[in-house]
Amino acid sequence: MMSILNKLKSLDIRLPEAPDPLGSYVPCVRTGNLVFVSGMLPLKDGRLIHTGKVGSDVSIEDAQESCELATINALSVIRSCIGSLDDIERCIKINGFISSAEGFFEQPSVLNAASDLLFKIFGDKGKHSRAAVGVFCLPLNSPVEIDFVFEVK
């Protein structure tokens, strides 16, 4: 079986350095076989790749790209926490908070970008439960924030 790092290479995804948390907390905590990942933002080299509310300032496509980047940042964080992404048994749950303009109801389409990427990378182990919610505003004016629970070996 292909290692997850090789799988990421085949998808042309390079894991960044794990992003610094924005406050006095840690990006990732393990308890037993569960790993809880803090709310991830679409930060690249310390900056958000998009800002604003989805449905007005930010297009669905840009919000989807933001979800993919938040997911990649999460993988980077998990790798630094547990050592190897090959020790992931399953993605259990993701919560996608989508900063939403009035009348925007396509949060599931936006969050699908994260769900699809997890499935591409991990196959059946990437299939997760989730909640997609439209919120009023997010840290740094981010369009999306996603937190994760993984089961690991």
**Distance in Å, CB of 138 to a second copy, minimum:** 6
CB of 71 to a second copy, least distance (A): 13
DSSP secondary structure code for residue 126 in this structure: G
Q: Is 11 in the site for a second copy (CB under 8 A)?
A: no
Joined together, the tokens standing for residue 25 give 């907390």
Alpha helices in 26-59 (DSSP H): none
Smallest CA-to-CA distance from 11 within 3, 22, 21 is with: 3
Positions in 68-107 near a second copy (CB under 8 A): 90, 92-95, 97, 99-100, 102-107
- Residue pair 140/96 in contact (Cβ under 8 Å)? The answer is no
By CB under 8 A, residue 140 contacts a second copy: yes
Rounded Cα distance between 115 and 136, Å, is 22
Footprint of a second copy on this chain (CB under 8 A)? 22-29, 31-34, 36-39, 90, 92-95, 97, 99-100, 102-109, 111-112, 115-116, 119, 127-141, 145, 147, 149, 151
